[in-house]
Amino acid sequence: MALLDGPAINWSNLARRAPRAIVLYILVILVLRLFLSRFMEIDEAQFVGEVDFAWNYGNSHPPLYNWLVRLALELTGWNWVLAVALVRLSLLGLYHWLSFDTARRLGGDRAGVLALTVSALLPQIVWMSIQTTAHTILVISASIGIVHSFALLREGKGTHAYIGFGIWAAIGALAKYNFFIFLISFLIAATMTPTIRRQLFQRQIWISIAIFVAAFTPVVVASLNAPLAATAGRMHKLAQAIGYLESFDLPRVGIDGLASLLISTFLWAGPALIVFRIGQIRDHPRPPPDGDADVRKLLLRTVLIGLAAFAVLVFIADYHSVAERYMAPILAPTAILVALYLPQVLGARNLLVISGAMYILAPLAVAIVALFGTPRFNFPFDGVAEAIRAQNPTPARVTSNRQDDAGNVATVLHWPPERGEASDIVLVWQGNDDPGEEALARLPTDAQPIGPVTRVTARVRNFNGELRTFSFQRYSSRLPIPDQNSGG
C-alpha cells in the first residue's frame, strides 16, 4: 500500500485541471466510438423512427432524450452514429462535471477530485455508460443536478439555485419516470433535517415548482391519452424470474426481487465502497468526513429512502428482477457520498492511480471486444441493406425482431422508419431458418409476402471475420407496424 507514497497531494491543482481532463476524456471516448463501428447498438437504435417532435414515444419513456437525439441529428447532418454517441457522451461528461463540482462545493477540492475517483469504480459509469445506455445517463445527470442546485443554495445563490431546482426536476421528469423516486426521497430527506428544511423550503421554491409544472404538464396530458403497452412491457421485465434466485421465491411477494435489488445495489456501489474503505486502512486516526454533517445526512437519507421505497414496491408487486440501470437515479449521488464520507490521506495516491487506470482500461477493453469479438454493432448491416436494395429499390418499412437490426438496416438504406413513408414492409431476421414467432409478431395482421425469402451471408465488420447470415422478405401491408421499442 505504501508503494505510491510521495509528497502531499496538491488537491487544488488537481481540481483546477479536472474540468479539462473531463473534456479530454469524453473527446477520446467519442473518437474511439466512431472508429470502432459505423453502426448502432440496441440502446442507440431504439431512436430510429422516434425523433419527430412528440410529447411521448413508444418506448414508455418521457420525450427529452428523443428531442436531444433529434437536435444532434440536425447538427450532424443526420449522421446517426455520431448523433447518438454525441448525446450520450456529452451527458456522461455532464455527469462527471456535476459530480466533481457538487462535491467540491460541499466538501472542498479534495472531495471534488475524489468524486471523479469514485466514478472510475462505478461499473455503470466507467463501463456501461461509455458503450451503451441512453435515458439512464440523462436521469443520473438530472439527479446530480438537483444536488448541485442544493450546493448552490448552500452558497447563498438563492434565486439561481431555485431556478436550477426547477430545471433539473423538469429534466429528470422528462428523462425517465423512476426519477420521481429520487426526487421524492430527496424532499422527504430534506424535511427530516431541520437545518436543511429551513434552508430549502423558502418562498422562492415556488419558482422551482412553476418551472417543473410548466415543463411536465404537457407530457402528463399526452400520457393520459397514450397506450400503456410499452410501459407494461417494461414492468414485465421486473416480473421475469432470475434462475439462480428462484429458490428464494415465495408466492405473492417478491423475496427473490429483494435479493436481486441488493445484488444490483452492491454491483452499482460496492466496488467503490470497498476500495475507498481499504484506502483508509493506514490512516490513524482516520480523517473526519468532509463537508457539513447535515448535508451528508441529507444525501445518505435520500439514497436509503429511495432504496427502501423501491424495495417495498418490489416486495408488494412480487417483482423478481431489478437491473442495475433501474437503480440509476436512486444511487446517482454515490460518488459524492463516498467522496464526502471516506476522505483519503495516505491511500489517496494509490486510489488516484487505480482510478486513472480504470479510466484507461475500460475504453481499451471496449475497443478490444469491438475489434476482435462479435459485438452486434459490427454485424454486416450494410451487406444486408445492399441486398435488399438490389432485390427491389422501392422504399419499404424495415422491421425485425431485433430493434438494432431494423434500425441499422433502415439508416443505411434511408428507408422508413428512419425517414420517409412506404406501404411495403421488409422483415429482417438472423439465421438461415424461417422467421420465428417473435419476428412474425412485428408484422401487421394484413401483411402478405410479395417477395422470396433471401439469405445474406457476410463477415462481421472487424478483425474477427466471423460469418453472419441474415434473411429478409418483403411484404405488402397498409397497417402500421406494431410498436417494437425497448431499451433505456
For 123-144, the pLDDT digits (tens) are: 999 999 999 889 999 999 999 9
Residues 216 and 262 in one domain: yes
3-state secondary structure of 213: helix
- pLDDT for residue 231 is more than 90: no
- pLDDT for residue 47 is more than 50: yes
Share of the chain above pLDDT 90, in %: 81
CA nearest neighbour of 405 among 326, 472, 323, 337: 472
Buried b / exposed e across 201-222, counting CB within 10 Å, b at 16+?
A: eeeeeebbeebbeebbeebeee
User: Which pLDDT does position 1 carry in this prediction?
Assistant: 45
Beta bridge partners of 467: 459
**Structural domain count, the chain:** 2
Residue 37 in any domain: the answer is: yes
Residue-wise pLDDT for 479-488, tens only, equals 999 876 544 5
Of 319, 340, 370, the one marking the end of a domain is 370
Q: Which three cell numbers stand for residue 383?
A: 451487406
Question: Under 8 Å CB-to-CB from 238, ≥6 apart: which residues?
Answer: 257, 314, 317, 319, 320, 321, 322, 326
Q: Which three cell numbers stand for residue 59?
A: 418506448
Residue 486 in any domain: the answer is: no
- Provide the strand spans (E) within 289-419: 397-400
Residues 296 and 383 in one domain: no
What single letter denotes the amino acid at residue 64? L
What single letter denotes the amino acid at residue 436? G
Q: Which three cell numbers stand for residue 165?
A: 431546482
Domain CATH number, residue 411: 3.30.110
Residue-wise pLDDT for 76-111, tens only, equals 999 999 999 999 999 999 999 999 999 999 999 999
Residue 355 in any domain: the answer is: yes
Q: Which three cell numbers stand for residue 332?
A: 446517482
Distance CA(271)–CA(334), nearest Å, equals 11
Distance CA(15)–CA(21), nearest Å, equals 10
Q: Given pLDDT bands bounded at 50, 70 and 90, which one contains residue 239?
A: low
Return the residue matching grid coordinates 476524456: 25
Residues 224 and 183 in one domain: yes
Return the residue matching grid coordinates 402528463: 220
Residues 332 and 385 in one domain: no
Of 343, 370, 397, the one marking the end of a domain is 370
Residues 307 and 452 in one domain: no
Residue 5 in any domain: the answer is: no
User: Which pLDDT does position 229 carry in this prediction?
Assistant: 47
Residues 319 and 420 in one domain: no
Range of the domain at 353: 11-370
Residues 443 and 348 in one domain: no
Residues 314 and 384 in one domain: no
Asked if residues 324 and 124 have their Cβ atoms less than 8 Å apart, the reply is yes
Distance CA(275)–CA(420), nearest Å, equals 52
Mean model confidence pLDDT for the chain: 92
Residue 2 in any domain: the answer is: no
CA nearest neighbour of 69 among 38, 40, 95, 97: 40
Residues 15 and 159 in one domain: yes
Q: Give the CA angle between residues 74, 408, 362 to the nearest 5°.
A: 85
Residues 308 and 445 in one domain: no
Q: Which three cell numbers stand for residue 415?
A: 428507408
Residue 50 in any domain: the answer is: yes
Of 331, 355, 370, the one marking the end of a domain is 370
Residue 244 in any domain: the answer is: yes
> Nearest 5°: phi and psi at 426?
-110, 115
User: Which pLDDT does position 380 carry in this prediction?
Assistant: 96
Q: Which three cell numbers stand for residue 344?
A: 483519503
Residue 83 in any domain: the answer is: yes
Asked if residues 121 and 271 have their Cβ atoms less than 8 Å apart, the reply is yes
pLDDT, mean of residues 455-484? 93
Residues 385 and 362 in one domain: no
DSSP string, 435-455: P-HHHHTTS-TT-EE-S--EE
Distance CA(261)–CA(250), nearest Å, equals 16
User: Which pLDDT does position 375 carry in this prediction?
Assistant: 87
Residues 158 and 175 in one domain: yes
In this structure, of 38-47, 240-249, 329-338, 399-408, the range with the lowest mean pLDDT score is 240-249
